[in-house]
Chain A
């Protein structure tokens, strides 16, 4: 499918805006768009968002025979994929001019700058070396693909871990990540490309052009640099004449941008390392927003078990003895007997008592008999025997337990101490339900 053509009105407006030092998205001349670096669940997978431009890089490795003229060096392979998903103008499976240009630039930026120690990738000299393959996929195209691709590629390379190998005589063993921890690549420095676009034959300069700016620009200068201010590659395209001062100025701007981006990358790598170590959600899973349904779940509350006994005792001591309420609630109406355990005859009872029954079902049977006798002396002892239950139910404050698990209130052992109080709460809850 053809790309949308650029209308004359857009072109005129853009050029006029650039003359006025304005940009479409409100940036200043030397501003980058927001850069966001995220990682996939696997090692060596990295997503870079540069404004609306989105790029994914995936690093993989393979044991291959080395090149004949370099028997003890590993092989680096770079591949840029421009899929129609990024922009309708891109075609699948065909090497366009743009993709060749980007591929070449990425190779110059990362391979020719010798930022990766290829000799450490050698396993058996002349026979087996690691081939590191970097696939860069463009997911959305909104200008400045090169910068996004270079950031994604170098970050993915830093993030990547290759399997450990051992050589025993003629035997080469490749260990799975479960057997031995995979090894990171040795990277000397991080070259990052910074793009400058020129307008009106080099009169105006913009950093990080967006898609529409790229369409109206006259020339492009890409400088790849590392944070030690070493230029790794420099390329000018579009056929404009640049003055020496302009190139010098661009390289100065590039050095500032590169140090900022390098810091961002190392921070992202550090965050990811920490997250992985702590076993938290990392990578792609982290970037997925929580779904609403899981958000309704309540997490298990951790229970402090250290001084529960003392605290429970304290609460019991403080609590007022519930003298009147218990017998009146538990003794059925006069003349009503009880048959069996845990069952209560509710004939002629008020609704309140019914509810009580629900609440107390389990511990009603035996306790009722005890409580009808009503022994104040035993009171404390009984409480202590039930503390175990209290702790299991995740909190020693019964009121909260009742509110958290309204469906299973009958499991809540009744603390005679706060009984009056809490039963009121339960009752009101149940009323609402009905």
Chain B
């Protein structure tokens, strides 16, 4: 199993592809046989003694035995601990209903902000943006968001200030943007200085010096979803010389 998976790393797989255990004809009697363990990430699913691919994308591998499919989907499924950009959809008693682009709305307690108490409510209006983290993300339960970390600090989360533009990109691009030493991010940083908030749910918020700049950055990010590195750099350079 491990070796057959390893062989396919970096290749494009489609839903329905499968891996099965290699049946060894010879069993070593002297050596202690260590059972093979493989950790399956998104896009891989176990079914009996087979491993099925259920998303189309590139197979990735992380030492020692983690495998997952890197896909370009746009639909967000919440996962615990991920940070997202949500829109306050309603105030319902002591919780806010937050739309994060998933199948249902998440709840966000008004006490889950830094420095919030029963008396000191945070100033959040319907339609505001929040950057928050999932504490409950379960397929059978309503997802729950908080804007504080475990020690009660805001840690970058909370309600957004005014201005800026929100737009959607694919989840693959978001992951690329958020990965440490991401090329897209460094390219963008050099050419167009801006404030950028990236949520794992595919929402990106951009604020820069002018409306024109913000629009350019938004369109660039949306277009570089399907580009290779050189193509993207070429485009960035052209835009920088042409439009500014």
Contact check, A11 vs B127: say whether CB atoms are below 8 A apart: yes
Total A-B contacts with CB atoms under 8 angstroms apart: 53
Residue numbers in B under 8 Å from A8 (CB-CB) = 125, 127-129
What 1/0 mask marks residues of chain A from 197 to 220 whose CB sits below 8 Å from any chain B CB?
Answer: 000000000000000000000000
CB distance from B67 to the nearest CB of A (A): 26
Contact check, B212 vs A22: say whether CB atoms are below 8 A apart: yes
Residue numbers in B under 8 Å from A168 (CB-CB) = none
- Known A4-B87, A6-B127, A22-B215: A13·B164 in contact at CB below 8 Å: yes
CB distance from B82 to the nearest CB of A (A): 18
Contact check, A25 vs B219: say whether CB atoms are below 8 A apart: yes
A286 at the B interface (CB under 8 A): no
Contact check, A7 vs B127: say whether CB atoms are below 8 A apart: yes
CB distance from B130 to the nearest CB of A (A): 10
What 1/0 mask marks residues of chain A from 11 to 46 whose CB sits below 8 Å from any chain B CB?
Answer: 111001100101011100000000000000000000
- Known A13-B163, A13-B164, A13-B165: A5·B87 in contact at CB below 8 Å: yes
CB distance from A13 to the nearest CB of B (A): 5
Residue numbers in B under 8 Å from A22 (CB-CB) = 211-212, 215
Contact check, B219 vs A26: say whether CB atoms are below 8 A apart: yes
Contact check, A7 vs B162: say whether CB atoms are below 8 A apart: no
Residue numbers in B under 8 Å from A1 (CB-CB) = 103
Report the Cα distance A7→B89, complex, angstroms. 9
CB distance from A429 to the nearest CB of B (A): 31
Report the Cα distance A16→B163, complex, angstroms. 10
Contact check, A20 vs B87: say whether CB atoms are below 8 A apart: no
For B162, B163, B215, B219, the residue with the greatest tally of chain A CB atoms inside 10 Å of its CB is B215
CB distance from B211 to the nearest CB of A (A): 5
B70 at the A interface (CB under 8 A): no
CB distance from B12 to the nearest CB of A (A): 12
The one of B101, B164, B211 that contacts A20, using a Cβ cutoff of 8 Å: B211
A243 at the B interface (CB under 8 A): no
Residue numbers in B under 8 Å from A17 (CB-CB) = 211, 215
Residue numbers in A under 8 Å from B218 (CB-CB) = 24
Contact check, A5 vs B89: say whether CB atoms are below 8 A apart: yes
B133 at the A interface (CB under 8 A): no
> Which chain B residue has the least Cβ–Cβ distance from A23?
B215
Contact check, B211 vs A24: say whether CB atoms are below 8 A apart: no
The one of A5, A24, A26 that contacts B127, using a Cβ cutoff of 8 Å: A5
What 1/0 mask marks residues of chain B from 161 to 182 whose CB sits below 8 Å from any chain A CB?
Answer: 0111110000000000000000
CB distance from B223 to the nearest CB of A (A): 11
> Which chain B residue has the least Cβ–Cβ distance from A1?
B103
Report the Cα distance A69→B125, complex, angstroms. 58
CB distance from A411 to the nearest CB of B (A): 39
- Known A4-B99, A7-B127, A8-B125: A13·B211 in contact at CB below 8 Å: yes
Contact check, A9 vs B219: say whether CB atoms are below 8 A apart: no
Residue numbers in B under 8 Å from A5 (CB-CB) = 87, 89, 99, 127
Contact check, B162 vs A9: say whether CB atoms are below 8 A apart: yes
Contact check, B166 vs A9: say whether CB atoms are below 8 A apart: yes
CB distance from B107 to the nearest CB of A (A): 15
From 241 to 293 in chain A, residues with beta carbon under 8 angstroms from any chain B beta carbon are: none
A10 at the B interface (CB under 8 A): yes
Contact check, B163 vs A9: say whether CB atoms are below 8 A apart: yes
> Which chain B residue has the least Cβ–Cβ distance from A11?
B127
Report the Cα distance A16→B214, complex, angstroms. 12
Residue numbers in B under 8 Å from A12 (CB-CB) = 162-163
CB distance from A77 to the nearest CB of B (A): 36
Extra 20 A-B pairs, beta carbons < 8 Å, given A5-B99, A13-B164: A2-B99, A5-B127, A6-B127, A7-B87, A7-B127, A7-B128, A7-B166, A8-B127, A9-B162, A9-B164, A9-B166, A10-B166, A11-B127, A12-B162, A13-B163, A13-B165, A16-B211, A17-B211, A20-B212, A22-B212
Q: Which residues of B contact A (CB under 8 A)?
A: 87, 89, 99, 101, 103, 105, 125, 127-129, 160, 162-166, 205, 211-212, 214-215, 218-219
Question: Can you sample 13 A-B contacts with CB below 8 Å?
Answer: A4-B87, A5-B87, A7-B129, A7-B166, A9-B160, A10-B166, A13-B164, A16-B211, A20-B211, A20-B212, A22-B211, A26-B215, A26-B219
